[in-house]
Amino acid sequence: MPVSEVHHVAMTVSDVERAADFYEQALGYRRTLRSDVGGPGIEVSLGLPAGTTGKVQYMQGPSRVGQLELIEWNGTKTRTATGGHLELGTFLLSFEVPLDEIEQLHQRITDLGAEVLGKPNRVLLENYGYITAFAARDLDGNLLEFVSLPSREEILAYRAENGS
């Protein structure tokens, strides 16, 4: 039996309030559950060192599926991975954006001080069709992708035209 969709993605951030402000302003996500975490239960369930505590802020988009859990753990934060394509682990977080909103989102994220890696770019994906996408790094350096996808009808039409 398959498991449900991804419920949430947890990201370690340097400052939970700053990160929540960014995702609220950049993506229009809303703050939901705010909690302090720590203690033997969470240490055991997540394999954390004894004494680990943190502040958590959940951010929710238009649906309850695919939330972001922003966690500011106690202690000194470091970045050992840059999200490079050969680094094992999570490469990026991808967010679907309507095509007519992608330019506005690009500008909003630029204005918020994120490192934007390029302008929205139209790209052909084999056996799928055209997407429009751009990438940026949030204020802690996490790689984010924003993508406008073709409709099911556009995908089927592309495949019919191209013998896919």
Q: How far apart are CA 34 and CA 49, in angstroms?
A: 22
| pLDDT greater than 80 at residue 88 | no
Looking at residue 76, what is its pLDDT? 84
- Categorize the per-residue pLDDT at 82 as very low, low, confident or very high, splitting at 50, 70 and 90: low
| pLDDT greater than 90 at residue 98 | yes
Of 78, 104, 95, 120, the residue nearest 23 (C-alpha)? 95
pLDDT digits (tens, 9 = 90+) for 29-77: 999 999 999 988 888 888 889 999 999 999 999 887 789 999 999 988 7
Helices 102-111 and 16-27, axial angle in degrees (round to 10): 150
More confident residue, 68 or 84: 68
| pLDDT greater than 90 at residue 25 | yes
Looking at residue 81, what is its pLDDT? 66
- Domains of the chain and any CATH numbers: 1-75 (3.10.180.10), 90-164 (3.10.180.10)
pTM of the model: 0.84
Looking at residue 103, what is its pLDDT? 96
Please give the average per-residue pLDDT across 141-150, as a whole number: 91
pLDDT averaged over every residue in the chain: 89
| pLDDT greater than 70 at residue 136 | yes
Amino acid, single-letter form, for residue 103 = E
pLDDT digits (tens, 9 = 90+) for 107-122: 999 999 999 999 999 9
Residue 130 host element (H or E): strand 129-137
Looking at residue 66, what is its pLDDT? 84
Residue 108 host element (H or E): helix 102-111
